[in-house]
């Protein structure tokens, strides 16, 4: 591939990412103002300044407009490639998600957007259903990749991944409660508290 071809691909990718971000912003504002049920794909496309056709090229549905999972899926794929087979799997996955929380905390814009999305998910049944389906599909792919990479029994890996999903959900829901009450606490700290609570629950 020539340098010019590579630059062209990078430019297209940047434009795609920018358009995707504009769609997310438009969808978030409309969902917050009108609710998911009161918003159409055409409304979101108009708010983002794109055609419905462009919207569907980047998003499968109006709910998916705010549930971008590509970056997380890519990060999980990279994690699988770097798993250390000489170490226990669970601590590596716990550390991965803790680092993800820290990265999100450090990204002020992404942090604010994520908070808005999670609040919407807690209020909108259609969005919650779409988020749970997305999480299920992502976890299934992650389990398959981990089994292939580590050789562990699938049921064991599935149990671990499901446990982590509960941990993340607990952390995010607690974080929403904390911020909703006007208190400030790092997401990473909330994650650590949720981890302690989840581990402690096996002793009660």
What domains does the chain contain, in order, with CATH numbers?
3-61 (1.10.10.60), 67-203 (1.10.357.10)
More confident residue, 2 or 167: 167
Range list of H helices, the chain: 3-34, 41-48, 52-58, 70-82, 89-106, 108-123, 125-150, 154-180, 187-200
Structure tokens at 159: 């149990």
- Confirm if 26 and 59 have CB atoms less than 8 A apart: no
Residue 127 exposed, middle or buried by CB count within 10 Å (0-12, 13-18, 19+): buried
Percent of the residues in the chain that have a pLDDT greater than 70, as a whole number:
96
Distances (CA, A) of 203 to 126, 186, 196, 198: 36, 27, 11, 10
- Confirm if 161 and 139 have CB atoms less than 8 A apart: yes
The mean per-residue pLDDT over the stretch 47-60 comes to 95
151 pLDDT above the threshold of 70: yes
**CA–CA separation, 93 vs 98, rounded Å?**
9
Alpha-carbon torsion, ordered 69, 118, 199, 190, to 10 deg: 110
More confident residue, 167 or 17: 167
Confidence of residue 186 (pLDDT cuts 50, 70, 90): confident
**CA–CA separation, 191 vs 72, rounded Å?**
17
Residue 27 — φ and ψ, nearest 5°?
Answer: -65, -45
Confidence of residue 193 (pLDDT cuts 50, 70, 90): very high
3 pLDDT above the threshold of 60: no
């Amino acid at each position: 591939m020539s340098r010019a071809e590579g630059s062209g691909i990078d430019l297209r990718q940047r434009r795609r990412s920018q358009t995707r971000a504009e769609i997310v912003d438009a969808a978030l504002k409309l969902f917050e103002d009108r609710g998911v049920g009161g918003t159409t794909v055409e409304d979101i496309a108009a708010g983002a300044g794109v055609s419905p056709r462009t919207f569907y090229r980047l998003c499968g549905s109006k709910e998916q407009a705010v549930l971008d999972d590509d970056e997380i899926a890519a990060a999980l794929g990279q994690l699988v490639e770097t798993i250390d087979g000489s170490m226990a799997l669970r601590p590596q996955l716990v550390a991965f998600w803790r680092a993800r929380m820290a990265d999100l905390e450090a990204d002020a814009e992404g942090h604010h957007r994520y908070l808005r999305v999670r609040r919407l998910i807690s209020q909108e049944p259609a969005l919650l259903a779409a988020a749970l389906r997305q999480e299920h599909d992502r976890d299934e792919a992650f389990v398959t990749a981990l089994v292939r990479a580590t050789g562990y029994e699938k049921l064991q890996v599935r149990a671990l991944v499901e446990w982590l999903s509960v941990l993340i959900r607990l952390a995010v829901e607690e974080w929403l409660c904390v911020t909703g009450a006007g208190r400030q606490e790092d997401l990473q700290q909330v994650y650590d508290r949720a981890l302690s609570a989840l581990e402690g629950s096996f002793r009660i």
